[in-house]
Structure 1
Amino acid sequence: MRDQAAGTTVTERFDLVVGADGLRSTVRRLVFGPDANHMHSLDHIVAAALLDEQVGGFGPHDGVVLAEVGRAAWIWPFADRGPSLLFTYHTSNIDRQFRRPAIESLRRAFGPRPAGPLLGELLDRFEKSDDFLFDSVHQVRMRQWHHGRVVLLGDAAWCMTLYSGLGTSVALAGGELLGTMLERHHDDLPSALGDWEHRMRPYIDYQHDHLGPERLLFVPSTRAQQAVRSSLLRMRWAPVVGPALGHLMAASNLMKMKDLDVAAA
């Protein structure tokens, strides 16, 4: 380990190294090889910022969605702070998006027509934000999450993207299960890591392969998907059909999740 500030190098030994350092994990790169071997682009960009107050014309608890084929803008309201702003769009050239300022890439993606009052305000608010995220969307897919005494966890191991809505919960579940397996096999690290991965793998693989519906809700890829998305959202909020549809979806997901339960027995 090298301290760049002090110019010193220290060698240390650990029983186990857990790499939970995100999508572009340094631990993964050092132990498992280049990012290109594990990161699979979905050809989309996400840009997010925290707003200090709601956009004009909407109440503090209103959510806002502007969605067209290949691009969308979202406002997420919160009870205890200002809303979050999210842009997402499709691109055929990921690298080009990072060769210019983020706001310029956003304005090009949401052009070429001039932005209306609402979209214009969202773009202006993003440009004025002190802190923002601008990144490409990737899944992380790996044949194995552990090697020797190194194990990866969370986005470093299996990033399912923001579209899944599962990043935090699955990382916590994976960490809890890892602790359980280490306790159960306290004197046998290979068995602990092997059992942990054996239990986690089916659930992660399933979520990787079934991202389509979640991504469709964020940003439709075709006009047909846009029509399906609009119909689903209208049905979801209909007085009678909405609750019934919600119960059916929840029941279906619950049955599938039981088959893929990662809880330690």
Structure 2
Amino acid sequence: MIFFINSELQLPQDFEDDVVQEVLKTGTDLRQYSRQIEKELKEVENRSIQDYIKESQNIASLHNQIAACDNILERMESMLMNFQLDLGSISTEILYLQKKSVIMSQQLSNRQLIRGPLSQFIEDMTVSETLIMGIMDAPVTEKEFLLQLQTLNHKINFVKEQSYKEAKSCQDVKEILEKLKIKAMSKIRTYILEQIYKFRKPMTNYQVPQNNMLKYKFFFEFVLANERNVAEEICGEYIGTMSKIYYSYFKSYSTRLMKLQGRVEVPGE
């Protein structure tokens, strides 16, 4: 009786269910129908449990695969984090290389600017073997000696100029330049004095050795610029020799004039 009362109370709500309406129309016993439904639900539940039991290995395998995927993803995450850190390091290194590249570019530009003057400085300061051989071995009358003498004179003046600027490299070449200067001075002095002494020979046309000396006028310029005492000695010898020559010429000329004058005066007497 209570069931029917409850059923009557619930009918208005259950009427909305299509299945309930269909059961009421057919006149089926609700208790029996309810037990049937419960039985079917129980069977479905048992089948579901059996299905779960059958698929337990697959589920366990799936769980293991998911766990393995989690591990792989975790490792990938770690790798990506390390890669991100590496990218940060690379970015920092790229910035460093860019700054270093700018510095190196500036250094290269500075070296290119100074390369010309520095190369010229080294060339002016260096004493080559050609210079040494030309001064030491070449005869004074050869063109090679004159060319190397001009080079030597340039280097002597250059080193002297750099000495005022306290260039340390001057000390490396100063001694050898001094020795070459002394050698060149000795050879030039000997040559010029030999040419001057040729004037003193009797019946010598002094214009010939004078013309030869004019070809090497740079010799005397070198001596005058680097050793004034030797230049004064050469000048003294030249002046003394030419004075004697001109004196003898004027004396001979005067004597001849006197003789001519005596001959001219005889007819007048």
TM range (shorter): under 0.3
Task: Give the TM-score normalised by structure 1.
Answer: 0.20
Larger proportion of strand: 1
Which one has more relative contact order, counting CA pairs under 8 Å at least 6 apart? Answer: 1
Q: Which has the larger radius of gyration?
A: 2
